[in-house]
Amino acid sequence: MTRLLTPNLVLGAALVVLVVGMAALSLVWTPHEYAQMNMRDRFAPPSDIHLLGTDQLGRDIASQLMVAARNSMTVALIAVLMGGSIGVALGLLASAIGGWVEDLIMRIADIGFAFPALLFAIMLSAVFGPSLWVAVLAIAFINIPVFARVTRGAANVIWTRDYVAAARAAGRGKFAISRDHILPNVAAPVIVQATIEFAIAILAEAALSYLGLGAQPPSPSWGRMLSEAQTLMFMAPQLAIYPGLCIMAAVLGFSLLGDALRDLTDPRLTRSRQA
């Protein structure tokens, strides 16, 4: 069992616990009110009062990072859940029906793959105005084809199993078989993919907020903190370093966790690990 605790899994899980912990804690407690400005206490160095110091408006950096973590997690969670459920449904449908319907769904997914997320978000904000919800929708949209493809690939394997043939012999329809047999058995690769997509969603949210298309002031976001710190790079580099480190920790954590979960659920790798 100790072989299962790979460095990827341990480091990934630790970073995920750290970032999610930050986000969860911000729901009930932050060291300071995150939006509280104090012009006499600008650019304060780290101290007992301000753990990581204050920014150009005298706001507590640690509090902002915590609330930004919560915003980032919320965006990623909603986007991955939305994109994932639509994508999984489409993948199950494509696999269940087959033939030209499957081809059509997968070719549409290919077109979706070709859409750059940032361009799509810029397009959406041109129409609806920039907001966090635009970011959520854009990230959800790019997740749909990813989940559709993963689900359809795994589902096509499950459809060839004898227990699916037995369910057909039992007189069950394609919808019932998809729900009762295919979905539970494709859950493992889908969950792995969701973890990796979560990392990508965090990065996308940071990029959109950096461009001003995500979280709007005063709602804090790692990406916007980064862009606001840009003009102050030489005066107060720590303002860029802290949110940058947070983005790295979150993205690296979920990516490593996703990779580790994939390794654990991949039978070929399981065999080589036992050998």
Buried residues in 68-89 as b, exposed as e (16+ CB within 10 A): bbbbbbebbebbbebbbebbbb
In the complex with other proteins, the residue whose CB is nearer, 78 or 190, is 190
Rama region for 219: left / alpha / beta (φ>0; ψ in -120 to 50; rest): beta
Q: In whole angstroms, how close is the CB of 19 to other proteins at the nearest point?
A: 31
Q: Rounded to an integer, what distance in angstroms lies between the CA atom of residue 233 and that of residue 226? A: 10
Angstrom distances, CA of residue 115 to CA of 111, 119, 144, 201, 243: 7, 7, 12, 15, 28
Distance in Å from the first CA to the final CA of the chain: 14
Residues in Cβ contact with 242 at an 8 Å cutoff, skipping those fewer than 6 apart: 52, 61, 65, 225
Closer by beta carbon to other proteins, 12 or else 189: 189
The dihedrals phi and psi of 231, each to the nearest 5 degrees, come to -70, -15
CA gap 242, 13 in Å, rounded:
21
Q: Would you tell me the crossing angle of helices 132-159 and 61-97 to the nearest 10 degrees?
A: 40
Q: What's the sign of the alpha-carbon dihedral 214, 217, 220, 226? A: positive
CB of 98 to other proteins, least distance (A): 13
The pair of structure tokens assigned to 274 is: 């036992």
Per the rule left: phi > 0, alpha: psi between -120 and 50, beta: everything else, 129 is left
Q: CB of residue 166 vs other proteins: minimum separation in angstroms?
A: 6
Cβ at position 161, least distance to other proteins in Å: 6
Residue 107: CB minimum distance to other proteins, A: 17
Nearer to other proteins, 128 or 175 (CB): 175
Residue ranges binding other proteins (CB under 8 A) = 161-163, 165-173, 176, 180-181, 184-185
- Would you say 170 or 275 has its CB closer to other proteins? 170
Residue with tokens 């361009």: 119
CB of 181 to other proteins, least distance (A): 5
**Residue whose CB is less far from other proteins, 43 or 159:** 159
Cβ closest to other proteins, residue 33 vs residue 103: 103
CB nearer to other proteins: give 92 or 225: 92
Least Å from the CB of residue 95 to other proteins: 16
